[in-house]
Amino acid sequence: MDTPNSVRKKGRSQPSQALLAKTFHWINIVSLFLMLSSGLQIYNANPVFGGRGGWTFPSAFTLGGWLGGGRNWHFAVMWFYCINLLLYGLYVVLTRRWNRRFVDSQDIKALQNSHNVKRKNYAWHRLVYTAIIPVLVLAIVSGLAMYKPAQFAWLSGLFGNWQILRTVHFITVPTVVLFTFLHSVLALKVGGLRLVNSMFLRGAGRV
């Protein structure tokens, strides 16, 4: 015979994430970590702020050992990162996942008028998830302009000069890190550890 506690446990739906969604998230996390650490190695060779004598990051946080090694890692992982984002974007469109992940007018109304804290957290979660898109596009565009400045001279020219281009690309890094933090905190507020575990620790779920 079921006890009241067991009935309540059975009644609580367990979050389930699609296998492809999990795969995209894991590739994204690993590639972001490698790009961040190799990017800091590139930064140390010529700091964006303060010239060559500017503040640098400790070697424990860098990858590549020197400028050439950092660039090799950074540009190699860049392809995995960009292709992963492209495939994830197609996946979101084809599965209509955007209906459940991106902000809409109802979320804006909830942020303005709702007194339901959980509903507001859910709206903030979707807003942050949506706001990161232009930042990622800017990071990719500015990175591509630095990767092939001669071939994409028109693209790098949009930023005015090389220092502005480097500064813009660098600023996207802490922005993405901040997004990752907010995304995680809001996910915990919306669905708790059960939601986070469903993306990273539990079974494969559906495709």
Q: Compute the mean pLDDT over every residue in the chain, rounded to the nearest whole number.
A: 82
Output the DSSP codes for 109-169.
Answer: HHHHH---HHHHHHHHHHHHHHHHHHHHHHHHHHHHHHHSTTTTHHHHHTTSSHHHHHHHH
The answer to whether 120 touches 114, Cβ cutoff 8 Å, is yes
- pTM score, whole prediction: 0.76
The domain limits of the chain are 17-99, 102-196
Distance, CA of 1 to CA of 78 (rounded, Å): 56
pLDDT of 10 reads 46
Quote the pLDDT of residue 11.
45
Q: Say if residue 165 is exposed, middle or buried (CB neighbours under 10 Å; 0-12, 13-18, 19+).
A: buried
Q: Which is more confidently placed, 46 or 4?
A: 46
Q: Which tens digit of pLDDT belongs to each residue from 12-65?
A: 555 566 777 778 888 888 998 999 999 999 999 888 887 777 888 999 999 999
Asked if pLDDT for residue 103 goes beyond 90, the answer is no
Query: For residue 198, what pLDDT is reported?
Result: 63
The 10 Å CB-count burial string (b at 16+, else e) for 145-157 is bbeeeeeeeebbe
Q: Inform me whether the pLDDT recorded for 7 exceeds 50.
A: no
- Asked if residues 25 and 84 have their Cβ atoms less than 8 Å apart, the reply is no
User: Model confidence over 66-98: pLDDT tens digits?
Assistant: 999 999 999 999 999 899 989 988 888 888 777
Q: Minimal CA–CA distance to 62: which of 80, 35, 82, 81?
A: 35
Mean predicted confidence (pLDDT) in 170-180:
89
Task: Judge contact between 30 and 58, C-beta under 8 A.
Answer: no
